[in-house]
Homo-oligomer: A and B are copies of this chain.
Amino acid sequence: MKNKMNEHRKKLGFSQDKLAEKLGVSRQTIISIEKGRYNPSLPLAMIIAELFDTSVENIFFLEQDDYK
């Protein structure tokens, strides 16, 4: 799964630290999601979408290997 976290974050002019704080998660979580190390949980993804004022589908994108 791909995502446009970095893009959206920069559009808001937030540092990873500030974004983490706004979302109520650790900075490691932001880094890991941006770097594609793992996916956010569904509730976190929805809170992110809300903060970025868009839909989950405009930030996160399924890829072939997400389907089994």
Tell whether A17 is near chain B: CB-to-CB under 8 Å. Answer: no
Please provide the chain A residues from 1 to 55 with a CB less than 8 Å away from any CB of chain B in the complex: 1, 24-25, 39-43, 45-47, 49-50, 55
A57 touches B46 (CB 8 A): yes
Choose one: B24, B47, B66; the contact of A43 (CB below 8 Å).
B66
Chain B residues with Cβ under 8 A from A62's Cβ? 43, 46-47, 50
Most interface-central of A43, A56, A57, A60 (chain B CB within 10 A): A43
Shortest CB-to-CB span from A67 to chain B, Å, is 6
Interface residues of A (CB under 8 A from B): 1, 24-25, 39-43, 45-47, 49-50, 55-57, 60, 62, 66-68
